[in-house]
Amino acid sequence: MSSAAEAEGGGGGRERLFFALWPAPALQEALARLGRRLVRKGGRRLPPEAIHLTLVFLGPVDAARRACLERLAGEVLAPPFELLLDRAGAFPRARVVWVGPGVTPQPLARLEAALREAAARCGLETDTRPFVPHVTLARRAAPVPAGPLPEPVRWPVADFALVRSRLRPGGAGYEVLRRWPLRA
């Protein structure tokens, strides 16, 4: 496989995909401003249009498995909920600065589990590590002190998305391919 094909998501008709919560543009802007306050120098802050919360990373996916994922995602039942982003932290080894909820809302945990199950039913293996909901704000950044945010960010979550990621020298580019409304 050529490096150009790898950069686009795997070549051979495969796309690098993941399920995510994708905030409205105004919320993406607010989170980008928060990132600028948390990471004052150094690091690479994410542009507002790239800010999201990954639910399940799927990796390279062929057309048949993508169709399966889309069909099963349409069957997922999860109610709309509010996500309170009230903590900042870092993954020091990965040099990532993030914000996330101090407590994972049950609807979020159920949504992630349902999408992981859909991926398994479509023949995809996903990460087996526990789900740690977070919104990445900067990469290659010095860690910030972990703790509560002075002003939590409230995110009314009404849908989830299937997203294509394309690796590029300046960072990943994302394209929302499809959205599904949350419903009980």
| DSSP characters over 45-101 | EPPGGG--EEEEEEEEE-HHHHHHHHHHHTT--B--EEEEEEEEEEETTTTEEEEE-
Residue 8 lies in a domain: no
Residue 47 lies in a domain: yes
Residue 10 lies in a domain: no
Query: Which residue segment(s) compose the domain that 151 sits in?
Result: 15-181
pTM of the shown model? 0.90
Residue 93 lies in a domain: yes
Q: Are 101 and 83 in contact (CB under 8 A)?
A: yes
What is the reported pLDDT for 145?
A: 86
Our answer to whether residue 52 is catalytic in this structure is: yes
What is the reported pLDDT for 13?
A: 86
What is the reported pLDDT for 11?
A: 53
Residue 1 lies in a domain: no
Which of 52, 65, 66, 164 is the catalytic position?
Answer: 52
Q: Tens place of pLDDT for every residue, the chain, 184 residues? A: 333 333 344 456 899 999 999 999 999 999 999 999 999 888 899 999 999 999 999 999 999 999 999 999 999 999 999 999 999 999 989 899 999 999 999 999 999 999 999 999 999 999 899 999 999 999 999 888 899 999 999 999 999 999 999 988 777 899 999 999 999 8
Q: Are 138 and 38 in contact (CB under 8 A)?
A: yes
What is the reported pLDDT for 171?
A: 74
Q: Parallel, antiparallel, or unpaired: how do β-strands 81-91 and 15-21 relate?
A: unpaired
Domain count for the chain? 1
Which of 134, 136, 138, 155 is the catalytic position?
Answer: 134
Provide the CATH number for the domain around residue 42.
3.90.1140.10
Our answer to whether residue 61 is catalytic in this structure is: no
Residue 35 lies in a domain: yes
